[in-house]
Structure 1
Amino acid sequence: MNKTPIYFMPGLAAGPEIFENLELDPEKYTFHYLKWIKPLALEEDIDNYACRLSDEIKEKNPVLVGVSFGGIMVQEIAKFVNPKKVIIISSVKNQGELPKKFKLAKFTKVYKFFPTVIVENFEDYARYFLGKSLKKKADLYKKYLSVRSKKYLKWSIYNVLKWEQISPLEDIVHIHGTKDTVFPIKNVKNAIEIKGGTHIMILTKAKKISKIIDDVLTF
Protein backbone atom coordinates (compact mmCIF):
# COMPACT_ATOMS: atom_id res chain seq x y z
CA MET A 1 0.00 0.00 0.00
CA ASN A 2 1.30 3.43 -0.91
CA LYS A 3 1.59 5.63 2.12
CA THR A 4 0.30 9.19 2.12
CA PRO A 5 2.98 11.77 2.95
CA ILE A 6 1.94 14.33 5.55
CA TYR A 7 3.95 17.52 6.07
CA PHE A 8 3.39 19.26 9.39
CA MET A 9 3.98 22.99 9.90
CA PRO A 10 4.07 24.21 13.54
CA GLY A 11 2.66 27.49 14.79
CA LEU A 12 4.38 30.82 15.28
CA ALA A 13 7.57 30.35 17.30
CA ALA A 14 6.89 26.62 17.67
CA GLY A 15 8.93 23.55 16.76
CA PRO A 16 7.87 20.12 15.43
CA GLU A 17 7.56 18.85 19.01
CA ILE A 18 3.98 20.13 19.18
CA PHE A 19 2.86 17.27 16.94
CA GLU A 20 4.27 14.49 19.10
CA ASN A 21 0.92 13.62 20.70
CA LEU A 22 -0.84 12.88 17.41
CA GLU A 23 -1.82 9.27 16.91
CA LEU A 24 -1.73 8.48 13.18
CA ASP A 25 -1.05 5.08 11.67
CA PRO A 26 2.54 4.82 10.33
CA GLU A 27 1.33 2.01 8.08
CA LYS A 28 -0.86 4.52 6.25
CA TYR A 29 1.19 7.72 6.44
CA THR A 30 4.74 9.00 6.31
CA PHE A 31 5.48 11.97 8.56
CA HIS A 32 7.59 15.00 7.65
CA TYR A 33 8.12 18.01 9.90
CA LEU A 34 8.76 21.42 8.43
CA LYS A 35 10.70 23.96 10.47
CA TRP A 36 10.70 27.72 10.36
CA ILE A 37 13.60 29.09 8.33
CA LYS A 38 15.23 32.47 8.67
CA PRO A 39 13.55 35.20 6.63
CA LEU A 40 15.88 36.74 4.04
CA ALA A 41 14.93 40.14 5.39
CA LEU A 42 12.23 41.66 7.54
CA GLU A 43 10.64 42.83 4.29
CA GLU A 44 10.49 39.36 2.71
CA ASP A 45 6.89 38.72 1.70
CA ILE A 46 5.08 35.60 2.82
CA ASP A 47 4.74 34.40 -0.77
CA ASN A 48 8.50 34.28 -1.29
CA TYR A 49 9.05 32.70 2.12
CA ALA A 50 6.50 29.97 1.34
CA CYS A 51 8.17 29.32 -2.00
CA ARG A 52 11.53 28.75 -0.29
CA LEU A 53 9.94 26.54 2.35
CA SER A 54 8.19 24.46 -0.33
CA ASP A 55 11.64 23.30 -1.49
CA GLU A 56 11.63 21.04 1.58
CA ILE A 57 8.68 19.09 0.19
CA LYS A 58 9.98 16.21 -1.93
CA GLU A 59 6.89 13.98 -2.32
CA LYS A 60 4.12 14.57 -4.85
CA ASN A 61 0.59 15.36 -3.75
CA PRO A 62 1.36 15.66 -0.03
CA VAL A 63 -1.08 16.43 2.72
CA LEU A 64 -0.24 19.75 4.36
CA VAL A 65 -1.15 20.22 8.02
CA GLY A 66 -0.52 23.54 9.74
CA VAL A 67 -1.22 24.93 13.21
CA SER A 68 -1.98 28.60 13.90
CA PHE A 69 0.45 30.70 11.80
CA GLY A 70 1.61 27.38 10.38
CA GLY A 71 -1.94 27.01 9.07
CA ILE A 72 -1.56 30.27 7.21
CA MET A 73 1.81 29.14 5.94
CA VAL A 74 0.59 25.81 4.52
CA GLN A 75 -2.09 27.71 2.62
CA GLU A 76 0.69 29.76 1.05
CA ILE A 77 2.86 26.68 0.41
CA ALA A 78 -0.10 25.06 -1.36
CA LYS A 79 0.38 27.61 -4.14
CA PHE A 80 3.74 26.01 -4.99
CA VAL A 81 2.94 22.32 -4.60
CA ASN A 82 -0.06 20.25 -5.60
CA PRO A 83 -1.36 19.04 -2.25
CA LYS A 84 -3.79 16.19 -1.87
CA LYS A 85 -5.35 18.04 1.04
CA VAL A 86 -4.71 21.12 3.19
CA ILE A 87 -5.70 20.83 6.84
CA ILE A 88 -5.42 23.77 9.22
CA ILE A 89 -5.75 23.63 13.01
CA SER A 90 -6.39 26.59 15.33
CA SER A 91 -5.85 28.93 12.41
CA VAL A 92 -7.74 31.12 9.94
CA LYS A 93 -8.69 30.74 6.27
CA ASN A 94 -8.73 34.42 5.31
CA GLN A 95 -8.26 37.88 6.75
CA GLY A 96 -11.95 38.11 7.63
CA GLU A 97 -11.44 35.49 10.35
CA LEU A 98 -8.75 37.50 12.12
CA PRO A 99 -9.93 39.01 15.43
CA LYS A 100 -10.31 42.73 15.97
CA LYS A 101 -7.22 42.99 18.17
CA PHE A 102 -5.07 41.80 15.25
CA LYS A 103 -6.67 44.29 12.91
CA LEU A 104 -6.13 47.03 15.48
CA ALA A 105 -2.48 46.05 15.87
CA LYS A 106 -2.06 46.32 12.10
CA PHE A 107 -3.81 49.68 11.93
CA THR A 108 -1.89 51.24 14.83
CA LYS A 109 1.37 49.54 13.79
CA VAL A 110 1.93 48.57 17.43
CA TYR A 111 3.57 45.39 16.13
CA LYS A 112 6.70 47.46 15.46
CA PHE A 113 7.27 47.48 19.22
CA PHE A 114 6.76 43.73 19.71
CA PRO A 115 10.29 42.40 19.12
CA THR A 116 11.83 44.24 22.08
CA VAL A 117 8.93 43.21 24.30
CA ILE A 118 9.24 39.60 23.18
CA VAL A 119 12.94 39.35 23.93
CA GLU A 120 12.79 41.22 27.23
CA ASN A 121 9.43 39.98 28.53
CA PHE A 122 8.53 36.83 26.68
CA GLU A 123 5.66 35.80 28.95
CA ASP A 124 3.75 39.03 28.32
CA TYR A 125 4.04 38.39 24.59
CA ALA A 126 2.75 34.84 25.01
CA ARG A 127 -0.23 36.01 27.04
CA TYR A 128 -1.17 38.52 24.34
CA PHE A 129 -1.26 35.92 21.60
CA LEU A 130 -2.17 32.76 23.49
CA GLY A 131 -4.56 33.91 26.19
CA LYS A 132 -4.48 34.36 29.94
CA SER A 133 -3.96 30.73 30.90
CA LEU A 134 -0.20 30.85 30.29
CA LYS A 135 0.83 30.37 33.92
CA LYS A 136 -1.46 27.37 34.36
CA LYS A 137 0.12 25.55 31.41
CA ALA A 138 3.64 26.92 31.49
CA ASP A 139 5.29 23.67 30.46
CA LEU A 140 3.07 23.33 27.40
CA TYR A 141 3.79 26.88 26.31
CA LYS A 142 7.53 26.37 26.67
CA LYS A 143 7.21 23.57 24.14
CA TYR A 144 4.82 25.55 21.96
CA LEU A 145 7.03 28.65 21.88
CA SER A 146 10.57 27.39 21.41
CA VAL A 147 11.80 29.50 18.46
CA ARG A 148 12.96 32.84 19.82
CA SER A 149 14.95 34.47 17.03
CA LYS A 150 14.20 38.17 17.23
CA LYS A 151 14.31 38.61 13.44
CA TYR A 152 12.03 35.63 12.82
CA LEU A 153 9.49 36.74 15.45
CA LYS A 154 9.29 40.25 14.08
CA TRP A 155 8.85 38.93 10.54
CA SER A 156 6.22 36.40 11.63
CA ILE A 157 4.06 38.81 13.62
CA TYR A 158 4.13 41.34 10.80
CA ASN A 159 3.04 38.73 8.26
CA VAL A 160 0.23 37.38 10.43
CA LEU A 161 -1.18 40.87 10.72
CA LYS A 162 -0.80 41.81 7.05
CA TRP A 163 -1.96 38.51 5.54
CA GLU A 164 -4.17 39.48 2.61
CA GLN A 165 -5.99 36.28 1.64
CA ILE A 166 -9.63 37.11 0.96
CA SER A 167 -11.19 33.81 -0.13
CA PRO A 168 -10.52 30.41 1.48
CA LEU A 169 -8.72 27.71 -0.47
CA GLU A 170 -11.09 25.28 -2.15
CA ASP A 171 -11.73 22.06 -0.20
CA ILE A 172 -9.65 23.17 2.80
CA VAL A 173 -10.28 21.35 6.10
CA HIS A 174 -10.38 23.58 9.16
CA ILE A 175 -10.28 22.15 12.71
CA HIS A 176 -10.96 24.69 15.44
CA GLY A 177 -11.52 24.77 19.18
CA THR A 178 -14.56 26.42 20.71
CA LYS A 179 -12.38 27.96 23.47
CA ASP A 180 -9.69 29.42 21.20
CA THR A 181 -8.91 32.90 22.53
CA VAL A 182 -6.40 33.78 19.81
CA PHE A 183 -8.71 33.16 16.87
CA PRO A 184 -12.19 33.15 18.49
CA ILE A 185 -14.61 30.63 17.01
CA LYS A 186 -17.19 33.41 16.49
CA ASN A 187 -15.06 34.74 13.62
CA VAL A 188 -14.49 31.33 12.02
CA LYS A 189 -16.74 29.78 9.38
CA ASN A 190 -17.08 26.22 8.10
CA ALA A 191 -14.81 24.56 10.65
CA ILE A 192 -14.91 21.18 12.35
CA GLU A 193 -15.35 22.24 15.96
CA ILE A 194 -13.71 20.60 18.96
CA LYS A 195 -15.60 21.46 22.12
CA GLY A 196 -13.40 22.96 24.80
CA GLY A 197 -10.42 23.12 22.46
CA THR A 198 -8.07 26.04 23.08
CA HIS A 199 -5.39 27.49 20.84
CA ILE A 200 -2.98 24.79 22.00
CA MET A 201 -5.35 21.89 21.47
CA ILE A 202 -2.78 20.26 19.18
CA LEU A 203 -1.20 19.31 22.51
CA THR A 204 -4.28 18.82 24.67
CA LYS A 205 -6.80 17.36 22.19
CA ALA A 206 -4.39 15.41 19.99
CA LYS A 207 -6.42 12.19 20.02
CA LYS A 208 -9.56 13.90 18.70
CA ILE A 209 -7.56 15.82 16.11
CA SER A 210 -5.86 12.61 14.98
CA LYS A 211 -9.21 10.92 14.40
CA ILE A 212 -10.48 13.86 12.36
CA ILE A 213 -7.36 13.91 10.21
CA ASP A 214 -7.55 10.17 9.62
CA ASP A 215 -11.25 10.33 8.79
CA VAL A 216 -10.70 13.18 6.34
CA LEU A 217 -7.90 11.35 4.56
CA THR A 218 -9.60 7.94 4.59
CA PHE A 219 -12.95 8.87 3.09
Structure 2
Amino acid sequence: MPADTNTPLILLSGLAADGRILTPQKVRFRWLHCPAWLPPDRDESIDEYAKRLADTLDAGPCIIGGASFGGIVALHLARHVDAQAVILIGSIKSPSQLPVYARCARPFRFLIPFIPIRFLQWLTRPMTAKRFKRFAPFAYGLACQFRDSDPRIFRWSLSRILDWSSDPVVSCPIYHLHGDRDWTLPLRYTDPDRIVAGGGHVISLTHPADVNDFIRHVLYHKDVDNPHDGNASQQIR
Protein backbone atom coordinates (compact mmCIF):
# COMPACT_ATOMS: atom_id res chain seq x y z
CA MET A 1 0.00 0.00 0.00
CA PRO A 2 1.41 3.44 -0.86
CA ALA A 3 2.60 5.56 2.01
CA ASP A 4 0.88 8.81 2.92
CA THR A 5 1.58 11.84 5.08
CA ASN A 6 0.79 9.75 8.17
CA THR A 7 3.85 7.57 7.47
CA PRO A 8 6.91 9.24 9.02
CA LEU A 9 9.73 9.96 6.57
CA ILE A 10 13.11 10.21 8.30
CA LEU A 11 16.29 11.15 6.41
CA LEU A 12 19.76 11.58 7.87
CA SER A 13 22.27 14.10 6.57
CA GLY A 14 25.81 13.20 5.57
CA LEU A 15 29.28 13.64 7.05
CA ALA A 16 29.92 17.20 8.28
CA ALA A 17 26.39 18.17 7.22
CA ASP A 18 23.05 18.83 8.83
CA GLY A 19 19.42 19.00 7.77
CA ARG A 20 20.09 21.98 5.49
CA ILE A 21 21.51 19.60 2.90
CA LEU A 22 18.00 18.14 2.61
CA THR A 23 16.19 21.49 2.40
CA PRO A 24 14.66 20.83 -1.06
CA GLN A 25 13.23 17.58 0.28
CA LYS A 26 11.83 19.33 3.37
CA VAL A 27 10.04 21.79 1.09
CA ARG A 28 8.52 19.01 -1.02
CA PHE A 29 7.68 16.59 1.81
CA ARG A 30 6.39 18.71 4.65
CA TRP A 31 6.32 15.81 7.11
CA LEU A 32 9.98 14.92 6.54
CA HIS A 33 12.02 14.74 9.74
CA CYS A 34 15.80 15.22 9.63
CA PRO A 35 17.05 14.44 13.14
CA ALA A 36 20.16 16.17 14.37
CA TRP A 37 23.23 14.04 14.94
CA LEU A 38 23.59 12.94 18.55
CA PRO A 39 26.96 13.52 20.21
CA PRO A 40 28.67 10.12 19.85
CA ASP A 41 30.83 8.22 22.27
CA ARG A 42 34.33 8.04 20.84
CA ASP A 43 34.41 4.26 20.27
CA GLU A 44 30.67 3.76 19.76
CA SER A 45 29.88 1.47 16.81
CA ILE A 46 27.46 2.52 14.08
CA ASP A 47 24.95 -0.05 15.29
CA GLU A 48 25.18 1.13 18.90
CA TYR A 49 24.77 4.71 17.73
CA ALA A 50 21.79 3.77 15.54
CA LYS A 51 20.07 2.04 18.46
CA ARG A 52 20.52 5.13 20.62
CA LEU A 53 19.19 7.32 17.81
CA ALA A 54 16.19 5.02 17.40
CA ASP A 55 15.30 5.52 21.07
CA THR A 56 14.89 9.25 20.40
CA LEU A 57 12.59 8.85 17.38
CA ASP A 58 9.58 6.84 18.62
CA ALA A 59 8.38 6.78 15.02
CA GLY A 60 6.37 3.57 14.66
CA PRO A 61 6.17 2.28 11.07
CA CYS A 62 8.31 4.64 9.00
CA ILE A 63 10.43 5.07 5.90
CA ILE A 64 14.01 5.99 6.66
CA GLY A 65 17.09 6.87 4.67
CA GLY A 66 19.96 9.23 4.33
CA ALA A 67 22.52 10.99 2.19
CA SER A 68 26.09 9.67 2.05
CA PHE A 69 27.17 8.61 5.57
CA GLY A 70 23.60 9.22 6.71
CA GLY A 71 22.51 6.38 4.44
CA ILE A 72 25.01 4.03 6.07
CA VAL A 73 23.65 4.89 9.50
CA ALA A 74 20.09 4.49 8.18
CA LEU A 75 20.85 0.90 7.16
CA HIS A 76 21.79 0.14 10.76
CA LEU A 77 18.87 2.20 12.07
CA ALA A 78 16.52 -0.07 10.12
CA ARG A 79 17.33 -2.84 12.60
CA HIS A 80 16.00 -0.79 15.51
CA VAL A 81 12.84 0.81 14.09
CA ASP A 82 9.82 -0.47 12.17
CA ALA A 83 11.30 0.51 8.80
CA GLN A 84 9.09 -0.08 5.76
CA ALA A 85 11.89 0.89 3.37
CA VAL A 86 15.35 2.48 3.31
CA ILE A 87 16.19 5.24 0.81
CA LEU A 88 19.87 5.77 0.01
CA ILE A 89 20.83 9.08 -1.63
CA GLY A 90 24.41 9.09 -2.90
CA SER A 91 25.30 6.42 -0.37
CA ILE A 92 26.32 2.74 -0.36
CA LYS A 93 24.82 -0.53 0.88
CA SER A 94 27.93 -2.38 1.98
CA PRO A 95 31.57 -1.88 3.08
CA SER A 96 32.55 -3.68 -0.13
CA GLN A 97 31.27 -0.61 -2.02
CA LEU A 98 33.69 1.77 -0.31
CA PRO A 99 36.11 3.33 -2.81
CA VAL A 100 39.73 2.23 -2.95
CA TYR A 101 41.01 5.38 -1.25
CA ALA A 102 38.83 4.68 1.81
CA ARG A 103 40.05 1.11 2.07
CA CYS A 104 43.66 2.19 1.70
CA ALA A 105 43.18 4.78 4.47
CA ARG A 106 42.05 2.20 7.04
CA PRO A 107 45.54 1.56 8.49
CA PHE A 108 45.80 5.30 9.18
CA ARG A 109 42.57 5.61 11.16
CA PHE A 110 44.62 6.21 14.32
CA LEU A 111 45.53 9.63 12.89
CA ILE A 112 41.94 10.90 12.85
CA PRO A 113 42.07 12.37 16.39
CA PHE A 114 44.94 14.57 15.23
CA ILE A 115 43.07 16.13 12.29
CA PRO A 116 42.88 19.89 13.06
CA ILE A 117 39.14 20.25 12.45
CA ARG A 118 38.86 23.69 14.04
CA PHE A 119 41.75 24.99 11.96
CA LEU A 120 40.21 23.57 8.76
CA GLN A 121 36.90 25.19 9.69
CA TRP A 122 38.72 28.48 10.12
CA LEU A 123 40.28 28.07 6.67
CA THR A 124 36.80 27.75 5.12
CA ARG A 125 35.61 31.06 6.61
CA PRO A 126 36.26 33.05 3.38
CA MET A 127 33.91 30.67 1.56
CA THR A 128 31.12 31.45 4.05
CA ALA A 129 31.10 35.16 3.26
CA LYS A 130 27.86 36.47 1.77
CA ARG A 131 29.66 37.84 -1.28
CA PHE A 132 31.00 34.34 -2.04
CA LYS A 133 27.44 33.01 -2.03
CA ARG A 134 26.59 35.09 -5.11
CA PHE A 135 29.30 33.42 -7.19
CA ALA A 136 29.25 29.85 -5.83
CA PRO A 137 26.07 29.18 -3.83
CA PHE A 138 26.62 25.41 -3.75
CA ALA A 139 30.18 25.65 -2.37
CA TYR A 140 28.97 28.35 0.04
CA GLY A 141 26.33 26.02 1.46
CA LEU A 142 28.76 23.15 1.97
CA ALA A 143 31.35 25.45 3.55
CA CYS A 144 28.76 26.79 5.99
CA GLN A 145 27.78 23.28 7.02
CA PHE A 146 31.39 22.23 7.54
CA ARG A 147 32.06 25.42 9.50
CA ASP A 148 29.13 24.66 11.81
CA SER A 149 29.80 20.92 12.21
CA ASP A 150 30.78 19.41 15.54
CA PRO A 151 34.40 18.13 15.41
CA ARG A 152 33.46 15.20 17.66
CA ILE A 153 30.80 14.04 15.22
CA PHE A 154 33.10 14.60 12.24
CA ARG A 155 35.90 12.52 13.75
CA TRP A 156 33.55 9.77 14.91
CA SER A 157 31.85 9.56 11.51
CA LEU A 158 35.17 9.40 9.66
CA SER A 159 36.41 6.66 12.01
CA ARG A 160 33.25 4.62 11.53
CA ILE A 161 33.52 4.85 7.74
CA LEU A 162 37.08 3.54 7.86
CA ASP A 163 36.33 0.66 10.24
CA TRP A 164 32.96 -0.29 8.71
CA SER A 165 33.43 -3.97 7.92
CA SER A 166 30.16 -5.91 8.15
CA ASP A 167 27.06 -5.68 5.97
CA PRO A 168 24.01 -4.48 7.92
CA VAL A 169 21.15 -6.98 7.95
CA VAL A 170 18.08 -5.17 6.59
CA SER A 171 14.72 -6.93 6.26
CA CYS A 172 12.91 -4.16 4.33
CA PRO A 173 13.44 -3.04 0.70
CA ILE A 174 16.40 -0.75 -0.04
CA TYR A 175 16.02 1.93 -2.73
CA HIS A 176 19.23 3.54 -3.96
CA LEU A 177 19.73 6.71 -6.03
CA HIS A 178 23.23 7.76 -7.12
CA GLY A 179 24.90 10.39 -9.29
CA ASP A 180 27.03 9.28 -12.22
CA ARG A 181 29.66 11.95 -11.39
CA ASP A 182 29.97 11.19 -7.70
CA TRP A 183 33.72 11.24 -7.06
CA THR A 184 33.38 10.76 -3.29
CA LEU A 185 31.54 7.44 -3.56
CA PRO A 186 32.09 6.55 -7.22
CA LEU A 187 29.27 4.94 -9.13
CA ARG A 188 31.45 2.08 -10.40
CA TYR A 189 31.61 0.57 -6.91
CA THR A 190 27.84 0.63 -6.38
CA ASP A 191 24.68 -0.87 -7.88
CA PRO A 192 21.96 1.79 -7.53
CA ASP A 193 18.38 1.39 -8.67
CA ARG A 194 18.50 4.74 -10.46
CA ILE A 195 21.30 6.96 -11.70
CA VAL A 196 21.12 10.76 -11.91
CA ALA A 197 22.89 11.95 -15.08
CA GLY A 198 25.41 14.67 -14.21
CA GLY A 199 24.86 14.19 -10.50
CA GLY A 200 27.74 14.57 -8.06
CA HIS A 201 27.87 13.60 -4.41
CA VAL A 202 25.32 16.09 -3.06
CA ILE A 203 22.42 15.41 -5.41
CA SER A 204 19.88 16.38 -2.75
CA LEU A 205 20.93 19.99 -3.43
CA THR A 206 22.18 19.91 -7.02
CA HIS A 207 19.42 17.70 -8.49
CA PRO A 208 16.50 18.14 -6.08
CA ALA A 209 13.80 17.38 -8.67
CA ASP A 210 15.35 13.98 -9.42
CA VAL A 211 15.76 13.16 -5.73
CA ASN A 212 12.24 14.28 -4.88
CA ASP A 213 10.80 12.26 -7.75
CA PHE A 214 12.66 9.17 -6.55
CA ILE A 215 11.39 9.63 -2.98
CA ARG A 216 7.85 10.21 -4.27
CA HIS A 217 7.94 6.91 -6.18
CA VAL A 218 9.11 5.07 -3.08
CA LEU A 219 6.45 6.69 -0.90
CA TYR A 220 3.45 6.38 -3.18
CA HIS A 221 4.13 3.64 -5.71
CA LYS A 222 6.95 1.37 -4.49
CA ASP A 223 7.61 0.79 -8.21
CA VAL A 224 11.21 2.00 -8.43
CA ASP A 225 13.06 -0.47 -10.62
CA ASN A 226 13.86 -3.69 -8.76
CA PRO A 227 14.81 -2.46 -5.28
CA HIS A 228 18.18 -4.06 -4.47
CA ASP A 229 17.64 -7.19 -6.56
CA GLY A 230 20.78 -6.88 -8.66
CA ASN A 231 19.10 -5.99 -11.95
CA ALA A 232 20.08 -3.11 -14.22
CA SER A 233 19.57 0.45 -13.04
CA GLN A 234 17.54 3.08 -14.80
CA GLN A 235 19.00 6.47 -15.57
CA ILE A 236 17.06 9.60 -14.75
CA ARG A 237 17.37 12.20 -17.46
Does the alignment reach a TM-score above 0.5? yes
Q: Which amino acid aligns with 1:118?
A: I
Q: Secondary structure at the match of 1:75?
A: helix
CA contact (8 A) 1:37 1:53 kept: yes
* 2:28 counterpart of 1:24: yes
Measured in 1, the distance between the counterparts of 2:211 and 2:99 equals 23
Matches within 5 A, 1:88-99: 88-99=88-99
Matched-pair contact (CA < 8 Å) for 1:15–1:146? no
Corresponding residue number in structure 2 for 1:132? none
Instruction: Note closer, same or farther for the CA distance 1:113–1:167 as it changes in structure 2 (3 Å cut).
Output: closer
Please give the alpha-carbon distance, in whole angstroms, between the structure 2 residues aligned to 1:2 and 1:117. Answer: 43
Change (3 A) 1:100 1:168: farther
Per-residue CA deviations over 1:121-166 (Å, capped at 9, x if unaligned) read 24999xxxxxxxxx95421312443543222211110001111233
**Aligned residue number for residue 51 of structure 1:** 51
Q: Per-residue deviation at 1:3?
A: 2.0
1:7 is aligned, of 5, 10, 33, to 10
Percent identity of the aligned residues? 26
Aligned equivalents of 1:89 and 1:158: distance in 2? 21
Report if the CA contact (8 A) 1:87-1:172 is conserved: yes
Structure 1 position 168, deviation (Å): 7.0
Alignment TM-score, normalising by the size of structure 2: 0.78
Structure 2 residues not aligned, in runs of 5+: 125-134, 222-237
How far 1:2 sits from its partner (Å)?
Answer: 5.9
| Number of the residue aligned with 1:129 | none
Cα RMSD for the two superposed structures: 2.4
Compare 89-98 and 42-51 and name the one that shifted more: 42-51
Output the TM-score relative to the length of structure 1.
0.84
Could you tell me how far 1:20 is from its partner in structure 2? Answer: 1.1
Q: 1:7 to 1:48 in 2, by over 3 A?
A: same
Shift of 1:57: 1.7
